[in-house]
């Protein structure tokens, strides 16, 4: 039984850690998902709670995973894990049956699951969690309470730090199709031979004042006593969907300039704001300065937004700017960059760099060779992530060593 408990504990612990971590490094992604759910269930009034709920959920999941993995605070963590799964398992069944949102967001953008796949996954995790819960008394806590509390504090600190950094900058790890190095045109390609959407035609015919529905096998197209009314296409099966879809850049003056932007061999700055009414204007002056610098170097600098023409006009009146505005789908803008506003640098449709509005480079820092500048910046970030990963791993190993030391010491002193 101890062996079964250990296996289940490791699996549940790693799954909770993974789920909490991928949410913690992208708190805005979870915020958008909560808002989608609130809108789908008619609870828009709760939208203001979306961000704090996103942070609390990721922090709790990560902390529960760490504590279960290291077998500390067993009674509390196993109870919390069971409470989590007892709530989310029936919830995901409801989501699978109603399908208000196509992706549950349980693993952020790191792993996209359908609602039925999520429900199946939760059934397995619930079974594992039940084993962990009902076998919690098999092993006694042999390490000291200070070590337990230190492990709890460490897990909370890691999760909250990830959320804080990713909210005030950009996600530490970008799992989305618009990550640095991705080519937008390549992401829009649909490979040959992949499954396509399948539809069923429902024909509506009228006879004696009664409208009846038929399918493609029995509709009375040769019977003159029936009068055709309408036909409806119903999707019965989803086909392959390209990682990047519904992406376009246009305005009323120039029309669609998507291909022009994505095939430009020079540099193109995309200033991104999903809603101009919600934009943080602290960095507008620096943005305007960078736009002037780009124009002086013959680089394109444009703004992408989902705001209406009236909102754009009002914003331009309030803030004299050196760039034009174009319309892009709101969902694509949310996926492209998490901050509002944010900045993206393209060359031939390839994303060279992305910046949170607080990290937008000053013109005195950058050089004409933006590709080299971006590579240097990105490599610096990777180096920081490597150092952070090594440090975190070492701290976990030290914690594990201290726990083992106390446990074996307690056994020896018996």
Q: Quickly state the pLDDT bin for 363 (edges 50, 70, 90).
A: confident
For range 61-85, the mean pLDDT: 91
The top-scoring range by mean pLDDT among 182-191, 277-286, 357-366 is: 182-191
User: Is the pLDDT confidence value at 399 over 70?
Assistant: no
Q: What is the pLDDT of residue 141?
A: 62
For range 320-343, the mean pLDDT: 92
Radius of gyration of the chain (CA): 27
Q: What is the pLDDT of residue 183?
A: 95
CA-to-CA distance for 354 and 359, rounded, in angstroms?
9
Q: What is the pLDDT of residue 220?
A: 87
**SS3 label, residue 327:** strand
Q: What is the pLDDT of residue 237?
A: 79
pLDDT tens digits for range 77-92:
999 999 999 999 998 8
CA-to-CA distance for 160 and 24, rounded, in angstroms?
7
Residue 205: partners with Cβ closer than 8 Å, 6 or more residues away: 211, 212, 214, 219, 220, 226, 227, 228, 229
For range 31-53, the mean pLDDT: 89
Q: What is the pLDDT of residue 190?
A: 87
Q: What is the pLDDT of residue 120?
A: 92
The pairing of strands 342-347 and 350-356 is antiparallel
Helix axis angle, 50-69 to 2-24, nearest 10°: 150
Closest to 356 measured CA to CA, from 370, 372, 326, 377? 377
312: phi then psi, degrees, rounded to nearest 5? -65, -45
Contacts of residues 66-70 at CB distance under 8 Å and 24 or more positions apart, as own/partner, are: 66/13, 66/17, 66/151, 66/154, 66/155, 67/151, 67/152, 67/155, 68/9, 68/12, 68/13, 68/16, 68/132, 69/9, 69/10, 69/13, 69/14, 69/17, 70/13, 70/151, 70/399, 70/400, 70/403
Q: Quickly state the pLDDT bin for 252 (edges 50, 70, 90).
A: confident
Q: What is the pLDDT of residue 223?
A: 87
Q: Token pair of 293, please? A: 């610098």
pLDDT tens digits for range 103-150:
777 888 888 888 888 999 999 999 999 999 998 887 666 666 777 888
Q: Quickly state the pLDDT bin for 403 (edges 50, 70, 90).
A: low
* Residues paired with 211 in a beta bridge: 206
pLDDT tens digits for range 153-164:
889 999 999 999
What percent of the chain clears pLDDT 70, i.e. is strictly above it? 94
Mean pLDDT of the chain: 87
Q: What is the pLDDT of residue 110?
A: 84
Q: What is the pLDDT of residue 409?
A: 56
CB atoms within 10 A of CB 338: 24
Q: What is the pLDDT of residue 411?
A: 46
Q: What is the pLDDT of residue 185?
A: 94
Closest to 324 measured CA to CA, from 291, 276, 363? 291
User: Is the pLDDT confidence value at 245 over 50?
Assistant: yes
Q: What is the pLDDT of residue 164?
A: 93
């Amino acid at each position: 039984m101890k062996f079964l408990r250990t296996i289940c504990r490791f699996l549940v612990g790693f799954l909770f850690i993974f789920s909490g971590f991928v949410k913690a490094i992208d708190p805005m992604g979870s915020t958008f998902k909560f808002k989608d759910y609130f809108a789908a269930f008619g609870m828009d009034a709760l939208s203001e709670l979306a961000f704090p709920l996103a942070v609390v959920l990721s922090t709790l999941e990560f902390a529960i995973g760490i504590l279960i993995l290291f077998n500390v605070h067993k009674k509390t963590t196993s109870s919390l894990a069971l409470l989590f799964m007892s709530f989310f398992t029936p919830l995901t069944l409801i989501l699978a049956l109603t399908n208000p949102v196509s992706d549950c967001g349980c693993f952020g953008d790191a792993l996209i699951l359908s609602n039925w796949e999520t429900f199946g996954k939760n059934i397995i995790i619930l079974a594992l969690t039940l084993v962990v819960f009902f076998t919690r008394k098999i092993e006694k806590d042999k390490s000291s309470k200070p070590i337990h509390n230190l492990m709890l504090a460490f897990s909370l600190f890691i999760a909250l730090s990830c959320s804080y950094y990713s909210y005030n900058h950009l996600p530490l790890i970008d799992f989305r199709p618009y990550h640095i190095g991705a080519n937008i045109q390549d992401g829009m390609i649909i490979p040959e031979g992949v499954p396509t959407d399948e539809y069923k035609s429902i024909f509506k015919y009228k006879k004696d004042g009664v409208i009846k529905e038929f399918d493609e096998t029995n509709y009375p197209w040769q019977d003159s006593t029936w009068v055709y009314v309408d036909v409806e296409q119903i999707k019965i099966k989803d086909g392959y969907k390209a990682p990047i879809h519904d992406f376009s850049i246009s305005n009323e003056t120039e029309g669609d300039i998507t291909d022009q932007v994505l095939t430009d061999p020079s540099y193109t700055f995309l200033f991104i704001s999903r809603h101009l009414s919600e934009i943080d204007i602290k960095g507008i002056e620096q943005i305007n300065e960078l736009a002037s610098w780009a124009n002086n170097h013959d680089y394109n600098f444009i703004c992408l937004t989902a705001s209406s023409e009236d909102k754009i006009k009002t914003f331009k009146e309030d803030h004299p700017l050196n760039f034009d505005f174009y319309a892009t789908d709101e969902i694509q803008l949310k996926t492209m960059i998490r901050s509002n506003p944010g900045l993206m640098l393209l060359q031939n449709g390839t994303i060279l760099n992305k910046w949170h509005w607080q990290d937008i480079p000053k013109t005195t820092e950058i050089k004409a060779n933006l590709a080299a500048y971006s590579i240097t910046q990105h490599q610096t970030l990777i180096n920081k992530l490597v150092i952070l990963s090594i440090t975190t791993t070492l701290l976990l190993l030290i914690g594990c060593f201290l726990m083992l030391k106390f446990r074996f010491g307690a056994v020896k002193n018996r």
